[in-house]
Amino acid sequence: MDAEIRPEWIVATLRAQGVATDLAHAQTHAALLASILNGASPAYARLAFEEEPAGYTAELRRNAP
């Protein structure tokens, strides 16, 4: 997955929450969010859809101290 988050989406989302921002700040937020999602996506891609959240619980039990 290569997340592309558009600054315009950030501006619209913040505006819907009653927060005003300019496009320059939105570009920074968009880059950060894309970086986070791109970093997490390989691990999530390995999870089978039907395993989550059951797989998470099983993994917790398997690795419990």
Q: What percent of the chain has pLDDT over 70?
A: 86
Q: 33: Cβ–Cβ under 8 A, 6 or more apart, which residues?
A: 3, 5, 10
Mean pLDDT, residues 24-52 = 80
Coil, helix or strand at residue 3:
coil
- Is 22 among the domain residues? yes
What pLDDT, in 10s, does the model give residues 48-64?
A: 766 666 777 777 788 77
Q: Is residue 55 part of a domain?
A: yes
Does this model's pTM top 0.75? My answer is: no
- Helix, strand, coil percentages (3-state) for the chain, rounded to 5, are 70, 0, 30
Please report whether residue 25 resides in a domain.
Answer: yes
Count of domains forming the chain: 1
Its domain, for residue 16, covers 7-62
Domain assignment present for residue 1? The answer is no
DSSP-based three-state secondary structure for 6: coil
